[in-house]
Amino acid sequence: MASSPATTPIRSLFAADPDRLSRLRIEQSGMLFDFAKTHLDADRIAAGLAHLTALGFTAARDRLFGGEAVNVTENRPAEHMAERGEGTADSVARANLLHQRTKALVEAVDAGAFGDIRHILHVGIGGSALGPDLLIDSLGRDAGRYEVAVVSNVDGAALAQVFARFDPRHTLLVLASKTFTTSETLLNGTSVIEWMEDAGVEDPYGRIIAVTAVPEAALAWGIDETRILPFSMTVGGRYSLWSSIGLPAALALGWPAFEELLAGAAIMDRHFRDAPLDRNAPVIAAIADRFYVEQMACQTRAVFAYDERLRLLPSYLQQLEMESNGKSVTLEGKPLDTASAPITWGGVGTDCQHAVFQLLHQGTVKTPIEFVAVIAPGHDLDEAHHRQLLINCFAQGSALMTGRSSDDPARAYAGDKPSTTILLDALDPATLGALIAFYEHRTFVNAVWLNVNPFDQFGVELGKEMARAIEHNGTQGFDPSTAALAARAFG
């Protein structure tokens, strides 16, 4: 990006441009995106847009929407948008058909086709867990349908906790794995079956719904094809919550709510495709992202959800952003000549204020911050709670930017710390769908800027292979440290 380094403090940018608020705030899909407390200004946005134009951004976006093989290393399109009705006619028709099957299964469970089901145990990991978990935790607290648990970790403690509170005779297992090869998921699935068998459940396999892009693998695992919900190989794992991977969320929330989620995301898709670039929320967010990485050398970005219902958002975004753009080679296989995606981290407010904000206010590490808050509370308690929550959120953004001088250096705040605020009117399925779609598109714009493929994840393979090698052959040939650790643990 060809603009000057960020020497002008954010506060002065307000004085320099009377239109700053209208220029740097975007209203879309029941959300206000406020970029005014960042170092972006008209020049920096123009420079960012010029850079994106030079990179052929709109053509890249057209290729994504047009169903071209944008996932070049795996030679396939990225068709998660087809799940919400945006994409080629073919991909949308295929997604619709699969949604009808998911809907029918939800209705079958509701109608008692699987017996008296009270608990849904969803087993999956990464993209096969984080999305459904976020949806259920955000929207399903008062849904009053099924009690749903999402288990991902192979650590038996995770399953044991659910076994302690679920009744195997009233539990439906959703076994979710795009590849149906992920060892953690398959081991957890096996343990759930054993748990059901031990409780005398007849035909535990009849109590499993498999969700996968490789139905033949689920079939070989012993699951009847009538209980296998496929989704397309062209939907990436971390982009898959819209597909049948969302089944536990559809069960928890009901199908109409799931449809609202998809419709909300589609509205954001159209905003991303059609809005002028200087009023396009994912584009402006990505310009800020790259500005902080490239010109301020920020190696992390922090997301704080000022709403308990969104407490899983930072974990969800970690996979979306870091697995997508944590790359070091370009689309042409050349070394990247700039810093990749930063580390995404975060937590909930106000908790984090009392734990990590010290460093954000006074530490030497620079990190852009994102606040996500909701105007309508998610509870019936005294309004003082929500008022205090939001006041804290707004005050932190202001304090970070404004700072305060003091004769005592230990009590001085340098200020000029950037933050973005995303303020939702309400947390409903449509708004959450739009919010998640916003993050997907922002990730895509970052990928175009970096010239990387955001739809593969080969970086996760080596560790998996080495774990398999130890499992099958021990640590022979491994480094001495690893061999000694394994010897101590396993004898």
Kindly state whether residue 4 participates in binding ligand F6P, applying the rule CB under 6 A: no
Of 121-129, 134-142, 246-254, 387-395: span binding ligand F6P (CB under 6 A): 121-129
Kindly state whether residue 178 participates in binding ligand F6P, applying the rule CB under 6 A: yes
Q: How far is the CB of 312 from ligand F6P (least distance, A)?
A: 15
Distance CA 295, CA 195 (A): 54
Residue closer to ligand F6P by CB (options 197, 216) is 216
Q: How far is the CB of 195 from ligand F6P (least distance, A)?
A: 20
Q: How far is the CB of 214 from ligand F6P (least distance, A)?
A: 8
Kindly state whether residue 466 participates in binding ligand F6P, applying the rule CB under 6 A: no
Which residue among 26, 95, 125, 251 contacts ligand F6P (CB under 6 A)? 125
Nearest 5°: phi and psi at 187?
A: -65, -45
Of 5-13, 91-99, 171-179, 423-431: span binding ligand F6P (CB under 6 A): 171-179
Of 28-36, 71-79, 175-183, 256-264: span binding ligand F6P (CB under 6 A): 175-183
Kindly state whether residue 188 participates in binding ligand F6P, applying the rule CB under 6 A: no
Kindly state whether residue 237 participates in binding ligand F6P, applying the rule CB under 6 A: yes
Which residue among 44, 80, 227, 238 contacts ligand F6P (CB under 6 A)? 238
Kindly state whether residue 418 participates in binding ligand F6P, applying the rule CB under 6 A: no
Q: How far is the CB of 250 from ligand F6P (least distance, A)?
A: 18
As annotated, the active-site residues are: 323, 354, 464
Kindly state whether residue 204 participates in binding ligand F6P, applying the rule CB under 6 A: no
Which residue among 28, 182, 188, 353 contacts ligand F6P (CB under 6 A)? 182
Distance CA 286, CA 81 (A): 19
Kindly state whether residue 368 participates in binding ligand F6P, applying the rule CB under 6 A: no
Kindly state whether residue 177 participates in binding ligand F6P, applying the rule CB under 6 A: yes
Distance CA 369, CA 26 (A): 18
Residue closer to ligand F6P by CB (options 182, 243) is 182
Q: How far is the CB of 240 from ligand F6P (least distance, A)?
A: 8
Q: How far is the CB of 425 from ligand F6P (least distance, A)?
A: 31
SS (H, E, C) 26-85: EEECCEEEECCCCCCCHHHHHHHHHHHHHCCHHHHHHHHHCCCCCECCCCECCCHHHHHC
Of 11-19, 119-127, 327-335, 357-365: span binding ligand F6P (CB under 6 A): 119-127
Of 122-130, 326-334, 438-446, 475-483: span binding ligand F6P (CB under 6 A): 122-130
Kindly state whether residue 95 participates in binding ligand F6P, applying the rule CB under 6 A: no
The pairing of strands 300-306 and 208-212 is unpaired
Q: How far is the CB of 131 from ligand F6P (least distance, A)?
A: 9
Cα torsion 178, 182, 185, 189 to 10°: value is: 90
Kindly state whether residue 119 participates in binding ligand F6P, applying the rule CB under 6 A: no
Binding to ligand F6P in span 421-460, by CB under 6 A: 457, 460
Kindly state whether residue 69 participates in binding ligand F6P, applying the rule CB under 6 A: no
Kindly state whether residue 189 participates in binding ligand F6P, applying the rule CB under 6 A: no
Kindly state whether residue 126 participates in binding ligand F6P, applying the rule CB under 6 A: yes
Binding to ligand F6P in span 268-327, by CB under 6 A: 323
Kindly state whether residue 419 participates in binding ligand F6P, applying the rule CB under 6 A: no
Which residue among 171, 185, 353, 420 contacts ligand F6P (CB under 6 A)? 185
Q: How far is the CB of 466 from ligand F6P (least distance, A)?
A: 13
Residue closer to ligand F6P by CB (options 128, 453) is 128
Of 18-26, 59-67, 177-185, 271-279: span binding ligand F6P (CB under 6 A): 177-185
Kindly give, in sequence order, each residue whose CB lies less than 8 Å from that of residue 199, ignoring residues fewer than 6 positions away. Answer: 167, 168, 169
Q: Binding residues for ligand F6P, how many (CB under 6 A)?
A: 14
Residue 317 structure tokens: 């975004």
Nearest 5°: phi and psi at 51?
A: -65, -45
The pairing of strands 31-34 and 25-28 is antiparallel
Residue closer to ligand F6P by CB (options 307, 323) is 323
For ligand F6P, the binding residues (CB under 6 A) are 125-128, 177-179, 182, 185, 237-238, 323, 457, 460
